[in-house]
Amino acid sequence: MEKYKYKNSRIYQTPEFVQKMRSKKISTYLPFRAIINQLENIYDPITYQNILKKSINSAEFALQNNKSDWFVLTTFIKNIGNILYVLDEPENLKSISNYTFITGCAFPKQIIYPEFNSFNNYSPNGIYKPHCGLNNTFISYNPNEFLFQTLNNDLNKHLLPPEALYCIRYGNLYLHHRDNAYEHLIDDYDKAMLPLLQEFDKYDNCNVTIDVTNVLLKKYEILWKMFFENYGLYF
């Protein structure tokens, strides 16, 4: 099943598909506790780890290391985008994998399951100018991009800094911040943000297993209220 999803995403994720998904209209409002209830029943389709437990582990690890409030909250909410698997149509979901890559250019050799690279006929730069910047590319549409677009919607007022949104959007672009596979496309801003993205990755994918049985969600609810004008989110 895992390999099947990677294959489908490699075939169907195109700049046109990404544009279509980005333009989808907001239709659902979920308050904080409703979001949490949804996450309790969602598991990562690749690792099969419970999304809420993963979020709490990452945030608790960040708290233990005295990270700033926005950083802690970002590690906690980064996986909220997995609600996409509940809200969207099955036809769209067959093309979606949590693994992030750039559409409209050649797949890097470092990509997982490179045997599917034959589905791509683009050159290394593809439709992009050299060093155009990640913000000017069509990265594959997945829970990360879904959450990024959600947070950028005018209905969702928040005080998260640009650094938080950058980490949410590109946190799973391992081809960039682990493999340096998009050096020909990144710009000076991406270079400046790379150390932060690599630091964030240590918490988002921490190997520390924290006992979350006695962790109260209330403190994350309080953090949420510090940064969000609404009690929930419009999806």
Domain 2-21+35-229: which topology?
A: Hypothetical protein af1432 (1.10.3210)
Of the candidates 90, 59, 91, the residue with the CA atom closest to the CA atom of residue 212? 59
Of the candidates 76, 40, 59, the residue with the CA atom closest to the CA atom of residue 168? 76
Q: What is the pLDDT of residue 181?
A: 98
Cβ–Cβ < 8 Å for 196, 163 = yes
Q: Which residues of the chain have pLDDT under 50?
A: none
Cβ–Cβ < 8 Å for 95, 119 = no
Instruction: Give first-to-last CA distance, the chain, whole Å.
Output: 27
Q: What is the pLDDT of residue 185?
A: 98
CA dist list (Å): 211 to 23, 59, 125, 139: 40, 12, 45, 35
Q: What is the pLDDT of residue 214?
A: 57
Q: What is the pLDDT of residue 220?
A: 93
Q: What is the pLDDT of residue 208?
A: 75
Q: What is the pLDDT of residue 213?
A: 60
**What's the CA gap between 50 and 36, in Å, rounded?**
12
